[in-house]
Amino acid sequence: MQIEHCDYLIVGGGVAGCTLGYLLRKAGADVLILERLDVEKKDKLCAGMISSWCREEIIKIFGEAAWSSLNAERLDAMIEIFGERELYSPDNFHTMPRKSLDDYFLHRYLELGGKIKGLATVNKINQETNSAECIELWTKKIFHVRFGNLIGADGATSTVRKLTTGKKPRISFALESTIPLIGKDIIFDYLPDGSVGYRWYIPHREDATVGAVYFFSHTNPTADYAKVCWEWLSDFCQSRSISLTQSLRGACLPAGDDVLLRTGEQIYFIGDAAGLIRTPSGEGIPLALLSARKLAESFLDGTSYEESMQYVKEKVTNESANACKFQFLNNLRVFKTGKQVK
């Protein structure tokens, strides 16, 4: 039986997993990352907008030079839409393709000698022996890993979370498509029917993404998430004469109402797997970076991860619980201060 050993077994090779791996490798730890997808080809759904908070986290972790090397495009304005009102918001926004961002974090981890297995994940976890039965998804080959600590960084439908808690977290849903560039302003179109969600248009240098995200609706709590997103997105594109010529991609997102940072003595969660997302804005990348940084600090200096993240957990939980209120107030702001365009 093949048995591998590592100080830290990280399941998920996205922003959170690779950032944590980088910080631990930088300190000399033995790290193994398992990634369900092909590590070089995977391209996660994401609008591609980078907030100032996200930029600050990147600089804290990787340094000033990292931000320059990412070559994110600066855009000067965002248009927020609610019904027949539009609000033009000048600000310092940046965008870049999500794959470029993921690849940067992956390569920084690999540069430090980090190990990663693509097309692989966990099957079983034994918390008493600190071991995991893992599988190579392509070959179906089983291998075992003995770990010091196990970290779930494997997204909103986290396998690690399901195996260790016996239940799935509540999720939301998003659809996205890449389209030709039709303008250089970011557009967020907020939903008018009491639902928590929005449609977007995010320009990049050579193309753009359009998408829709659906968190929940008190008026239609049992709605088919994928169907609702498709209807919202189709309506959004038709109103702007956008043709959805490229294939649509779907993704699950955390709902933000059941944050879990740790289970057992040596098992932790970061990023989407921890349920960290800002509802209703959908912002998750800075939370992935923050949680990876805080967990690395706890491993390296002995501070409590749960205590250092308590304020974040409370904020995320509060935003989720009051998402309808926040969206209503945001819509009201656009309605009162925006100009009528129809």
Q: How confident is the model at residue 69 (pLDDT cuts 50, 70, 90)?
A: very high
Based on the fold, state whether residues 183 and 263 are members of the same structural domain. no
Question: Which residues, including other chains, have CB under 8 Å from residue 291's CB and lie 6 or more apart?
Answer: 16, 261, 270, 271, 274, 276, 309, 312
Based on the fold, state whether residues 280 and 155 are members of the same structural domain. yes
CB 164 within 8 A of CB 264: yes
Based on the fold, state whether residues 182 and 106 are members of the same structural domain. no
- 220 in any annotated domain: yes
- 86 in any annotated domain: no
- 83 in any annotated domain: no
Based on the fold, state whether residues 141 and 267 are members of the same structural domain. yes
Based on the fold, state whether residues 61 and 154 are members of the same structural domain. yes
Based on the fold, state whether residues 42 and 64 are members of the same structural domain. yes
List the domain range (segments joined by +) for residue 225: 172-252+323-340
Quote the crossing angle between the two packed helices 310-321 and 285-301, to the nearest 10°: 150
- 80 in any annotated domain: no
For residues 73 and 81, what is the distance between their CA atoms, to the nearest angstrom? 23
Mean pLDDT along residues 23-29: 98
User: Poorest-confidence range of 29-43, 113-127, 244-258, 284-298?
Assistant: 244-258
Based on the fold, state whether residues 45 and 110 are members of the same structural domain. yes
Based on the fold, state whether residues 221 and 264 are members of the same structural domain. no
- 84 in any annotated domain: no
Based on the fold, state whether residues 69 and 152 are members of the same structural domain. yes
Mean pLDDT along residues 203-212: 91
Q: What is the mean pLDDT of the chain?
A: 92
Number of Cα atoms under 13 Å in the Cβ half of residue 13: 29
Based on the fold, state whether residues 178 and 289 are members of the same structural domain. no
- 315 in any annotated domain: yes
Predicted confidence at residue 3, as pLDDT, reads: 87
Q: How confident is the model at residue 76 (pLDDT cuts 50, 70, 90)?
A: confident
- 293 in any annotated domain: yes
User: Poorest-confidence range of 289-293, 297-301, 327-331?
Assistant: 327-331
Predicted confidence at residue 342, as pLDDT, reads: 65
Predicted confidence at residue 222, as pLDDT, reads: 72
Based on the fold, state whether residues 231 and 269 are members of the same structural domain. no
Mean pLDDT along residues 212-234: 83
CB 153 within 8 A of CB 16: yes
Percent of the chain past pLDDT 90, that is, above it, reads 73
Predicted confidence at residue 218, as pLDDT, reads: 66
Based on the fold, state whether residues 37 and 131 are members of the same structural domain. yes
Mean pLDDT along residues 225-250: 87
Predicted confidence at residue 298, as pLDDT, reads: 98
Domain with 146 in it: what CATH number?
Answer: 3.50.50.60
- 294 in any annotated domain: yes
For residues 284 and 252, what is the distance between their CA atoms, to the nearest angstrom? 12
Residue 223 clears pLDDT 70, i.e. is over it: yes
DSSP state of 276: -
Mean pLDDT along residues 198-204: 92
CB 194 within 8 A of CB 327: no
Q: How many domains does the chain have?
A: 2
Predicted confidence at residue 224, as pLDDT, reads: 83
Q: Is the bond into 280 cis (omega within 30 degrees of 0)?
A: yes
Percent of the chain past pLDDT 70, that is, above it, reads 98
User: Poorest-confidence range of 37-46, 203-212, 277-286?
Assistant: 37-46
Mean pLDDT along residues 148-153: 98
Residue 236 clears pLDDT 80, i.e. is over it: yes
Predicted confidence at residue 4, as pLDDT, reads: 92
